[in-house]
C-alpha cells in the first residue's frame, strides 16, 4: 500500500480554485494546450521554449504551477514570461479534474473557443521556440480576470454554465499487485469488480513493469460507490487477498471549491443576465436544465409532472453507464422566465430525494448525455423510446483534435479484452461479479451490481457530490 503514490496525480488547491472560475479556467487550459502542442511537436527529449506576453501577478503564479506539471521551468522578465526545458506530458489533463466527463472541445466551446488551434505558433528561424497563441492572453496583463478567485461568485458562474467545480474526489489511484506484465488479466478483474463496461484508466509509466495509474470516474458518487465497496471487502483478509489491485483516493486532504445552495440561488437572482449572455453565446443548452438525484426507476412523465404549469418544449430521460444505472432528465423550457422558475425548484424533495435541478452541461451532442430511456419531442407526438428509433448507438464525440501524445488516456472495455477466466473464489466464497457486456447492450442492463442505497441531498463542492461523501472527506467542504 505504501508504494501507491497518491499525490503524484494531485494539483494545488489554487489550481483547483482557478479551474472552477471561467476566466481562470480558460487561462490554464490555454497554457496547457499551448505547451502540449509544443511538446508534441519537438518531442519529449528536446528542449522547448514557449514565450508568453506580459502577465499579471496572479497569472504568473498559475503559469508557474502549470509549468511544474509539465516539467518546464518558468522564467519571468519585464517584457514577457517563458516556459522552457524538456517537457513531459502529465497523466491527467486539467479537464480531467472537472467531474462529468466533459470533453476538451466541449469545455473550450463553453468558454468561447469554438475552433481551437491544432498547431503551435513557431518563432521564425527557430525549431524549438514558440509563441503562446492558443488563447488571447492580453486580458491577463493584470489581475482583473482573477477577481472572482477570492469569492464564491466565480464558482457560481461555472455552475451556471453546466460545468462542475474542480476536485480530486472522482479520481481513484490504483496499483496492480502483479505489475503490468499481466495487464489484461488485471484490467479484466478490475472491470468485473467495479461493474463498469468501460472505464478510463491512465497508466503513469510507459514501461513494461508499470503497476500504478489513476482511474477517472465520471462523477464523485461513482468513485465513492467503488470506495465503499472496496473498504467493505478490504476489511476481510480473504477477499482482499483475492484482488489483484488496491485503490486509494487522490489527495483526500486538499480543500476543494464549494458553493452553498443559498449562495447559488442568490447569485442567480442578482446575475441572471450572466446566464442569458452565456446562452446567447452557447445556444445548444439554452433554456435546458438537468434534473439529477432522481429516485430509482423514475419515469419521464413523472419528471415532467414536477414542472406542471411550466411550458416545456423538449425532454429526455437517460441512464448513465454505472452499475446502478442512475437516471437523469434533460428538460428544455420555452423561454427565459420559465427556465429561471424551473431552476428555482432546485432541492425540491420528492420520494425522499432532494432533486438537483441545474443548468445542463455543455455537451456538444445529445448522445453524450447517456443511454436514452425515453424522450418527448417538441411536437405533440407520443413518447419516443429507443426501440422506435433507428437503433443507432450513440458514438462518443472525439476530444480536442491534438496530436496523440497530448492525451495519454486509455479506454478499456470488456470487448477489447481476451476471453475471461473465472475469478478464483476465496475459501468457498463466490465473488459477486457482473458478466461482461458490449457497450451497445449497456442500456438494456437493469439489474444493479449491488442494491442501490438512498443518496442524501447533494452539495456544490462538485455537481455530483453527496453530503455523505463530504462527511467522509469533511475537509473538502470546509
Could you please state the CATH topology (level 3) that the domain comprising 261-388 is classified under.
Alpha-Beta Plaits (3.30.70)
Yes or no: say if 456 and 468 are a contact pair by the CB < 8 Å rule: yes
CA triple 311-280-103, angle to 5 deg:
100
Query: How far apart are alpha carbons 137 and 31 in whole angstroms?
Result: 9
Report the relative pairing of strands 48-52 and 129-131 from DSSP bridges: parallel
Confidence of residue 429 (pLDDT cuts 50, 70, 90): very low
Strand order in the sheet with 48-52: 73-76, 81-85, 48-52, 129-131, 121-122
Confidence of residue 135 (pLDDT cuts 50, 70, 90): very high
- The H or E element containing residue 51 is strand 48-52
SS3 410: strand
Question: So what's the pLDDT on residue 296?
Answer: 87
Q: Quickly count: other Cβ atoms within 10 Å of residue 298's Cβ.
A: 22
pLDDT, average across residues 219-228: 94
Query: How far apart are alpha carbons 172 and 177 in whole angstroms?
Result: 16
With a cut of 70, say whether residue 401 has pLDDT above it: no
Yes or no: say if 251 and 7 are a contact pair by the CB < 8 Å rule: yes
214: its cell numbers: 489513476
With a cut of 70, say whether residue 404 has pLDDT above it: no
Residues of the chain with CATH 3.30.70.330: 261-388
Q: pLDDT above 70 covers what percent of the chain?
A: 73
What's the mean per-residue pLDDT of the chain?
Answer: 79
319/2: higher pLDDT: 319
Yes or no: say if 64 and 28 are a contact pair by the CB < 8 Å rule: no
- The H or E element containing residue 136 is none
Query: How far apart are alpha carbons 61 and 138 in whole angstroms?
Result: 16
Give the pTM.
Answer: 0.79
For 13-59, how does the pLDDT look when each residue is reduced to its tens digit (9 = 90+)?
Answer: 999 999 999 999 999 999 999 999 999 999 989 999 999 999 999 99
For 259-306, how does the pLDDT look when each residue is reduced to its tens digit (9 = 90+)?
Answer: 999 999 999 999 999 999 999 888 889 999 999 999 988 999 999 999
- Give every CB contact of residue 250 below 8 A, 6+ residues apart in sequence: 6, 7, 9, 10, 168, 171, 172, 173, 214
Torsional sign, CA 178, 184, 188, 191 = positive
Yes or no: say if 33 and 120 are a contact pair by the CB < 8 Å rule: no
Coarse DSSP helix, strand, coil percentages of the chain, rounded to the nearest 5 percent: 35, 15, 45
pLDDT, average across residues 234-252: 75
φ/ψ of residue 86, rounded to 5: -90, 105
| String of DSSP letters for 15-42 | HHHHTTSHHHHHHHHHHHHHHHHHHHHH
For the ranges 43-47, 71-75, 170-174, 430-434, the lowest mean pLDDT is seen at 430-434
Residue located via cell numbers 463498469: 196
With a cut of 70, say whether residue 388 has pLDDT above it: no
Write out 170-225 in H/E/C secondary structure: CEEEEEECCCHHHHHHHHHHHHHHHCCCEEEEEECCCCCCCCEEEEECCCHHHHHH
Amino acid at each position: 500500500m505504501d508504494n501507491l503514490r497518491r499525490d503524484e496525480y494531485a494539483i494545488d488547491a489554487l489550481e483547483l480554485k482557478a479551474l472552477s472560475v471561467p476566466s481562470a479556467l480558460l487561462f490554464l487550459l490555454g497554457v496547457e494546450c499551448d505547451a502540449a502542442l509544443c511538446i508534441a511537436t519537438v518531442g519529449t527529449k528536446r528542449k522547448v521554449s514557449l514565450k508568453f506576453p506580459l502577465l499579471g501577478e496572479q497569472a504568473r503564479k498559475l503559469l508557474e504551477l502549470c509549468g511544474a506539471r509539465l516539467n518546464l521551468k518558468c522564467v519571468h522578465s519585464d517584457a514577457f514570461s517563458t516556459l522552457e526545458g524538456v517537457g513531459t506530458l502529465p497523466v491527467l489533463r486539467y479537464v480531467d479534474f472537472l467531474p462529468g466527463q466533459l470533453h476538451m472541445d466541449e469545455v473550450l466551446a463553453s468558454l468561447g473557443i469554438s475552433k481551437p488551434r491544432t498547431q503551435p505558433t513557431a518563432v521564425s528561424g527557430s525549431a524549438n521556440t514558440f509563441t503562446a497563441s492558443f488563447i488571447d492572453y492580453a486580458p491577463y496583463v493584470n489581475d482583473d480576470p482573477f477577481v472572482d478567485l477570492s469569492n464564491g461568485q466565480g464558482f457560481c458562474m461555472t455552475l451556471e454554465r453546466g460545468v462542475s467545480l474542480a476536485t480530486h474526489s472522482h479520481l481513484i489511484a490504483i496499483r496492480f499487485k502483479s505489475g503490468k506484465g499481466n495487464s489484461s488479466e488485471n484490467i479484466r478483474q478490475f472491470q468485473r469488480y467495479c461493474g463498469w463496461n468501460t472505464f478510463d484508466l491512465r497508466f503513469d509509466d510507459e514501461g513494461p513493469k508499470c503497476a500504478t495509474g489513476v482511474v477517472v470516474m465520471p462523477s464523485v458518487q461513482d468513485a465513492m460507490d467503488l470506495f465503499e465497496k472496496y473498504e467493505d471487502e478490504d476489511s476481510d483478509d480473504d477477499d482482499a487477498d483475492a484482488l489483484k489491485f488496491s485503490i486509494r483516493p487522490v489527495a483526500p486532504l486538499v480543500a476543494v471549491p464549494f458553493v452553498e445552495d443559498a449562495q447559488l440561488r442568490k447569485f442567480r437572482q442578482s446575475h441572471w443576465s450572466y446566464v442569458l449572455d452565456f446562452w446567447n453565446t452557447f445556444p445548444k443548452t439554452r433554456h435546458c436544465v438537468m434534473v439529477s438525484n432522481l429516485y430509482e426507476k423514475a419515469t419521464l412523465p413523472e419528471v415532467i409532472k414536477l414542472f406542471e404549469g411550466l411550458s416545456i418544449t423538449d425532454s429526455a430521460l437517460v441512464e448513465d453507464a454505472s452499475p446502478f444505472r442512475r437516471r437523469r432528465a434533460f428538460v428544455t423550457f420555452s423561454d427565459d422566465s420559465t427556465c429561471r422558475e424551473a431552476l428555482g425548484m432546485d432541492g425540491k424533495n420528492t420520494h425522499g430525494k432532494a432533486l438537483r435541478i441545474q443548468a445542463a452541461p455543455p455537451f456538444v451532442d445529445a448522445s453524450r448525455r447517456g443511454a436514452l430511456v425515453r424522450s418527448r419531442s417538441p411536437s405533440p407526438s407520443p413518447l419516443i423510446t429507443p426501440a422506435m428509433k433507428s437503433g443507432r448507438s450513440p458514438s462518443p464525440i472525439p476530444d480536442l483534435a491534438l496530436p496523440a501524445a497530448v492525451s495519454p488516456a486509455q479506454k478499456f472495455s470488456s470487448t477489447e479484452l481476451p476471453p475471461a477466466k473465472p475469478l478464483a473464489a476465496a475459501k468457498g466464497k463466490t465473488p459477486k461479479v457482473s458478466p461482461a457486456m458490449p457497450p451497445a447492450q449497456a442500456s438494456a442492463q437493469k439489474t444493479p451490481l449491488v442494491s442501490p442505497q438512498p443518496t442524501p441531498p447533494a452539495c456544490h463542492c462538485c455537481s455530483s457530490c453527496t453530503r455523505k461523501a463530504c462527511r467522509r472527506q469533511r475537509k473538502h467542504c470546509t
